[in-house]
């Protein structure tokens, strides 16, 4: 929400995304009305954004969802400004803006009463979301792929930013609700309905329908010839770190780079430089390593691609964390995937890996693309450098006036007393 008068943008709630035309955002809007029930809601600007899976679904389905959302929003007491699909690159860029805005890397109000430009560099941003992962950072090198370059002018300063979004490389897309990784396991086993998963703890078992694997936009093109949505796949964990590493490597294509340097899948990326913030599922993975497995992130995560056994624990030990039961079977394999993504994908070395800060918040604010988008939408980050003059709000101004008057009166009284005292001594 944006506070009237001063343009302050804040986040009040987080809702589950809209996945179909039938949902059309009803639950999210009811939450919005609950948080802001006042009649003045009709003056609150409302923007609906769709990211990730919307951008990889077919255009007809995406347009259908946006049409239903638009129709729904017009029935609510909000000042509806439009609905749009945010590209993966925009998502990464706005996440970068959010992180650097919160860290006051663009500009800050100094103690001398002036806006000053901090003498520090921007930080890169890495987001691992539901259906994609993004990397965005400022670079001084040449960007050989024009689609990955964004030039910004913020507070009078020019920034050349590299950004890329890898669709279908998000956490749920890979391991949870729509396990892309299972596609490769099934292909390797000739689509057998009973197979082992080397990335799951030994003894862990799960059954799920084929539709949960091939129903995602990321996996539809990989459906087998004899695809039957309701056929049940029975998968058992074998807990083999070496095979899990080989399986995780099969998710990437590190060869065939048409540029001077690439990350993976033939995508150009200049060498990483500066400090980085890794949030969303990057943070949750590292937080699991620190809290449950008692691993230090730089010492363990950076070595997973060569020592994957660091992340495998017996199932009975993992189950000691009941609050994480829904995710436990995937954390070890996720740590292996994240390590490969950062070290072999984004090319963080033993020297540059410690420059990554895994955190979910900057100050008290969660890092993500939403705040950056709203800051851009409300023009709270101007292109030109702000004026060095800054007015004082009414309350402090009145206080200063009263203090000045009190000091002035006190001085006059002191002068009067001194004059009277000196006259008395003269009379004696």
Decide if 61 is inside a domain. no
Residue 39's pLDDT is 45
Q: Does residue 352 carry a pLDDT above 80? A: yes
Residue of higher predicted confidence among 5 and 120: 120
Whole-number Å distance between alpha carbons of 166 and 226: 29
Whole-number Å distance between alpha carbons of 224 and 123: 44
Decide if 157 is inside a domain. yes
Residue 347's pLDDT is 94
Residue of higher predicted confidence among 137 and 31: 137
- Of 100-109, 216-225, 405-414, the least confident: 216-225
Q: What's the pLDDT band for 320 if we cut at 50, 70, 90?
A: low
Whole-number Å distance between alpha carbons of 11 and 31: 13
Residue of higher predicted confidence among 419 and 326: 419
Whole-number Å distance between alpha carbons of 381 and 307: 44
Decide if 291 is inside a domain. yes
Rounded mean pLDDT, 344-353: 92
Rounded mean pLDDT, 280-287: 88
Residue 221, marked binder: no
Residue 6's pLDDT is 42
Rounded mean pLDDT, 60-81: 72
- Model-level pTM? 0.78
Q: Nearest CA to 159 among 133, 141, 139?
A: 139
Residue 60, marked binder: no
Q: Does residue 315 carry a pLDDT above 90? A: no
Structural domains counted in the chain: 1
HEC per residue, 177-230: CCCHHHHHHHHHCCCCCEEEECCCCCCCEEEEECHHHHCCCCCHHHCCCCCCCC
Q: Nearest CA to 115 among 380, 382, 386, 375?
A: 386
Rounded mean pLDDT, 406-419: 82
Q: Report the CATH number that the domain containing residue 246 is assigned in CATH.
A: 3.30.420.150
Structure tokens at 229: 């949505």
Q: What's the pLDDT band for 275 if we cut at 50, 70, 90?
A: very high
Q: What's the pLDDT band for 4 if we cut at 50, 70, 90?
A: very low
Residue 222 bears catalytic tag: no
Q: Which DSSP state fits 145?
A: -
Decide if 320 is inside a domain. yes
Q: What's the pLDDT band for 126 if we cut at 50, 70, 90?
A: very high
Residue 134, marked binder: yes
Residue 133, marked binder: yes
Decide if 293 is inside a domain. yes
Residue 177's pLDDT is 42
User: Average pLDDT over the chain, rounded to whole?
Assistant: 76
Residue of higher predicted confidence among 1 and 59: 59
Residue 137 · residue 162 · CB < 8 Å: yes
Decide if 410 is inside a domain. no
Decide if 193 is inside a domain. yes
Rounded mean pLDDT, 49-74: 66
Residue 246's pLDDT is 85
> What is the per-residue pLDDT across 148-196, written as a single tens digit (0 to 9) for each?
999 988 877 889 999 999 988 887 556 544 455 676 666 666 777 888 8
Residue 172 · residue 133 · CB < 8 Å: no
Range picked from 28-32, 75-79, 250-254 for highest mean pLDDT: 250-254
Rounded mean pLDDT, 330-335: 79
Q: Which domain holds residue 195?
A: 88-368
Q: What's the pLDDT band for 93 if we cut at 50, 70, 90?
A: very high
Decide if 160 is inside a domain. yes
> What is the per-residue pLDDT across 203-214, written as a single tens digit (0 to 9) for each?
888 888 888 888
Whole-number Å distance between alpha carbons of 226 and 207: 19
Catalytic residue among 91, 222, 325, 384: 91
Q: What's the pLDDT band for 334 if we cut at 50, 70, 90?
A: confident
Residue 136, marked binder: no
């Amino acid at each position: 929400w944006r506070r009237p008068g001063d343009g302050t943008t804040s986040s009040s709630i987080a809702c589950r995304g809209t996945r179909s035309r039938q949902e059309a955002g009803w639950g999210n809007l009811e939450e919005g009305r609950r948080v802001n029930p006042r009649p003045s809601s009709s003056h609150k600007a409302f923007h609906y954004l769709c990211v990730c899976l919307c951008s990889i679904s077919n255009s007809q389905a995406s347009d259908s969802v946006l049409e239903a959302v638009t129709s729904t929003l017009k029935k609510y007491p909000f000042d509806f400004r439009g609905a749009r699909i945010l590209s993966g690159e925009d998502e990464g860029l706005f996440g970068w803006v959010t992180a650097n805005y919160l860290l006051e890397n663009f500009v800050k109000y100094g103690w001398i009463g002036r806006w000053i430009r901090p003498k520090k560099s921007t930080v890169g941003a890495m987001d691992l979301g539901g259906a994609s992962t993004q990397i965005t950072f400022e670079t001084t090198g040449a960007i050989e792929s024009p689609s990955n370059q964004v030039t910004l002018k913020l507070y009078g300063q020019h920034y050349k930013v590299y950004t890329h979004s890898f669709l279908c490389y998000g956490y749920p897309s890979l391991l949870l609700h729509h396990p892309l990784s299972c596609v490769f396991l099934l292909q390797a086993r000739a689509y057998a309905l009973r197979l082992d998963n080397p990335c799951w703890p030994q003894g862990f078992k799960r059954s799920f329908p084929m539709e949960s694997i091939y129903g995602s936009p990321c996996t539809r093109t990989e459906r087998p010839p004899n695809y039957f949505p309701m056929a049940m796949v029975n998968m058992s964990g074998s807990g083999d770190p070496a095979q899990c590493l080989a399986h995780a490597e099969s998710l990437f294509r590190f060869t065939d780079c048409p540029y001077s340097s690439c990350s993976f899948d033939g995508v150009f990326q200049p060498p990483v430089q500066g400090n980085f913030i890794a949030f969303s599922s990057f943070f949750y993975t590292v937080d699991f390593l620190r809290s449950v497995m008692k691993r230090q992130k730089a010492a363990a995560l950076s070595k997973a691609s060569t020592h994957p056994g660091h992340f495998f624990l017996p199932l009975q030990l993992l189950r000691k964390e009941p609050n994480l039961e829904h995710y436990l079977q995937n954390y070890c394999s996720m740590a292996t995937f994240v390590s490969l993504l950062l070290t072999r994908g984004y090319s963080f070395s033993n020297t540059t890996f410690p420059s990554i800060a895994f955190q979910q918040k900057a100050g008290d604010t969660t890092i993500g693309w939403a705040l950056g988008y709203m800051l851009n939408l409300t023009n709270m980050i101007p292109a030109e450098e702000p004026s060095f003059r800054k007015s004082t709000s009414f309350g402090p101004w009145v206080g200063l006036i009263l203090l000045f008057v009190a000091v002035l009166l006190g001085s006059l009284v002191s002068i009067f007393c001194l004059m009277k005292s000196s006259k008395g001594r003269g009379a004696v």
